């Protein structure tokens, strides 16, 4: 139901903290700031509040201090087509409509148009979308995506990838001739890139993100935009475009620092990094939006390993394997900490499993993805490496800064969905080792690391977890 415009009003002298309540209670995440004569003097979005918090502005300050004083507005009587044009061109979601005294009488939100105009005319041309079996994979050219899309194609699905191609398109290039595959270069958070991709799509698998702790810290605001706000917008559009299913790929790092008990989907959450925090916020927003028309399912992955068409050598098992082959020496940090691991192909099979489930098994549900035996203490990984590569030197380094440790239970996905991963850590290590021995690959090349600013010296000795 449309929010009444009066519910979006706050006065310029109201405190920021009071306005947060108004923002949280309306799905539009916006407040119109008015003066005592009810004249519009600014707009505040949840992004403005977030920026104020990041800048340490006290929440007891008046809201006028952080408002956008020059928002885009439209005059009453403006044709709807013109409004839509402004929203799309300026990439904004909401525009207030003013009377001749600059009082807000109405507003338009982008979704008002989606429902009315695009949906009926162009998106639902095909009657039974299940028949088309078309899946949109955001971030499909990445490490997980480039394995997943091949598994989907082999299983008879049609695949459309929307990806910014941050790491290039090499990983999907050979698929471009396949009539069931489509690659669209674009940013899923940009409405004009996203909307054409939703056409005739039956399910969405959302992988696009700024991935990993170090990469997420480079530009925290962008990380929030892509890993959290974008996800909320995506889910809203899913509803308007009558997409049946949204599978969101999250991370077991939302469990963060915990004791060594096996953690289930109901265990307390304690995310430490910005990456994990944004993923958790997105999870919560999605669970709220899950409904009869849109099945939302959240999959929490452990740290992924194994070979892929867009390779990552910034993930712990992959990096340690490369260092074992190339340097004959590995450093093991935080050796007593627990982490779950999963092979990249098993991630693809898990997603396929969820895609094929009836709604009642997955809708509004969170699943840890993996198997209990694939929880390891970091020092055990060192031992496994030493068993496979007997000629390497393993150096133990204590890392006091990183206090994350989590052992995860995978009973729910094993029992409820019948999903059990096939590959062991050894399988993944041997497969990468074989390729590195055969091919001339510079694993230190920045294209294999999500944190591009890393210098080679540092990169050599640090392994990451997701």
Q: Which of 137, 144, 195, 433 binds ligand NAD (CB under 6 A)?
A: 144
Residue 189 as a binder of ligand NAD (CB under 6 A): the answer is yes
- Minimum CB separation of residue 17 from ligand NAD in Å reads 31
Q: Which of 20, 197, 301, 352 binds ligand NAD (CB under 6 A)?
A: 301
Q: How deeply is 296 buried, as exposed, middle or buried, from its count of CB atoms within 10 A (0-12, 13-18, 19+)?
A: buried
Residue 321 as a binder of ligand NAD (CB under 6 A): the answer is no
Q: Which of 14, 187, 372, 431 binds ligand NAD (CB under 6 A)?
A: 187
CA nearest to 323, candidates 401, 405, 387, 382: 382
- Minimum CB separation of residue 201 from ligand NAD in Å reads 15
Residue 236 to residue 290: CA distance in whole angstroms: 10
- Minimum CB separation of residue 285 from ligand NAD in Å reads 15
- Minimum CB separation of residue 460 from ligand NAD in Å reads 20
Sign of CA dihedral 144, 146, 152, 155: negative
Rounded to a whole number of angstroms, the CA Rg of the chain reads 24
Which residue's CB is nearer to ligand NAD, number 42 or number 142?
Answer: 142
Q: What residues contact residue 238 under an 8 Å CB cut-off, 6+ apart?
A: 198, 204, 246, 294
- Minimum CB separation of residue 168 from ligand NAD in Å reads 9
- Residue whose entry in the numeric block shows the structure tokens 């450093």: 331
- Minimum CB separation of residue 303 from ligand NAD in Å reads 5
- Residue whose entry in the numeric block shows the structure tokens 């600013």: 453
Sign of CA dihedral 125, 131, 136, 141: negative
380 and 459 Cβ atoms separated by less than 8 Å: no
Residue 375 as a binder of ligand NAD (CB under 6 A): the answer is no
Residue 280 as a binder of ligand NAD (CB under 6 A): the answer is no
- Minimum CB separation of residue 256 from ligand NAD in Å reads 13
227 and 278 Cβ atoms separated by less than 8 Å: yes
Q: What residues contact residue 79 under an 8 Å CB cut-off, 6+ apart?
A: none
Which residue's CB is nearer to ligand NAD, number 310 or number 345?
Answer: 310
Q: Which of 138, 278, 365, 377 binds ligand NAD (CB under 6 A)?
A: 138
The residue at minimum Cβ distance from ligand NAD is 142
Binding interface with ligand NAD (CB under 6 A): 138-139, 141-145, 162-167, 187-189, 207-209, 211, 226, 249, 251, 301, 303-304, 310, 312, 315, 450, 466
């Amino acid at each position: 139901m449309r929010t009444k415009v009066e519910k979006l009003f706050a006065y310029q002298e109201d405190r920021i903290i009071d306005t947060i309540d108004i923002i949280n209670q309306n799905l539009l995440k916006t407040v119109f700031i008015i003066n005592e004569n009810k004249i519009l003097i600014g707009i505040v979005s949840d992004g403005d509040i977030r920026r104020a918090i990041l800048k340490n502005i006290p929440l007891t300050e008046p809201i006028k201090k952080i408002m956008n004083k020059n928002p885009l507005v439209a005059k009453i009587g403006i044709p709807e087509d013109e409004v839509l044009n402004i929203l799309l061109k300026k990439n904004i979601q909401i525009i207030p409509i003013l009377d001749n005294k600059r009082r807000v009488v109405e507003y338009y939100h982008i979704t008002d148009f989606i429902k009315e105009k695009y949906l009926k005319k162009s998106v639902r041309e095909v009657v039974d979308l299940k028949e088309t079996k078309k899946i949109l994979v955001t971030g499909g050219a990445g490490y997980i995506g480039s394995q997943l899309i091949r598994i989907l194609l082999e299983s008879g699905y049609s695949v459309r990838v929307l990806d910014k191609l941050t790491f290039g398109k090499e990983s999907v290039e050979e698929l471009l001739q396949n009539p069931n595959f489509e690659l669209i270069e674009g940013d899923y958070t940009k409405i004009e890139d996203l909307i054409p991709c939703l056409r005739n799509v039956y399910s969405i698998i959302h992988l696009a993100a700024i991935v990993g702790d170090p990469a997420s810290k480079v530009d925290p605001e962008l990380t929030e935009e892509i890993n959290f706000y974008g996800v909320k917008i995506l889910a809203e559009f899913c509803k308007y475009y009558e997409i049946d299913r949204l599978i969101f790929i999250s991370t077991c790092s939302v469990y963060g620092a915990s004791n060594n008990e096996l953690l289930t989907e109901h265990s307390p959450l304690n995310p430490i990094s910005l990456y994990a925090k944004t993923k958790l916020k997105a999870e919560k927003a999605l669970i709220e939006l899950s409904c009869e028309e849109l099945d939302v399912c959240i999959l929490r992955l452990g740290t992924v390993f194994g070979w892929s068409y867009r390779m990552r050598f910034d993930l712990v098992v992959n990096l340690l394997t490369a260092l074992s082959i190339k340097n004959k020496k590995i450093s093991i940090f935080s050796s007593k900490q627990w982490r779950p691991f999963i092979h990249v192909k098993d991630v693809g099979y898990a997603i396929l499993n969820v895609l094929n489930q009836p709604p009642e098994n997955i809708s509004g549900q969170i699943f840890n993805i993996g198997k209990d035996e694939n929880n390891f203490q970091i020092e055990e990984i060192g031992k496994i490496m030493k068993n496979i590569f007997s000629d390497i030197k393993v150096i133990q380094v204590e890392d006091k800064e990183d206090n994350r440790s989590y052992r995860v239970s995978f009973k729910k996905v094993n029992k409820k969905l019948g999903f059990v991963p096939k590959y062991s850590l050894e399988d993944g290590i041997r497969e990468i080792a074989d390729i590195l021995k055969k091919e001339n690959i510079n694993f230190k090349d920045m294209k294999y690391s999500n944190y591009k600013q890393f210098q080679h010296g540092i990169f050599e000795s640090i392994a990451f977890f997701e």
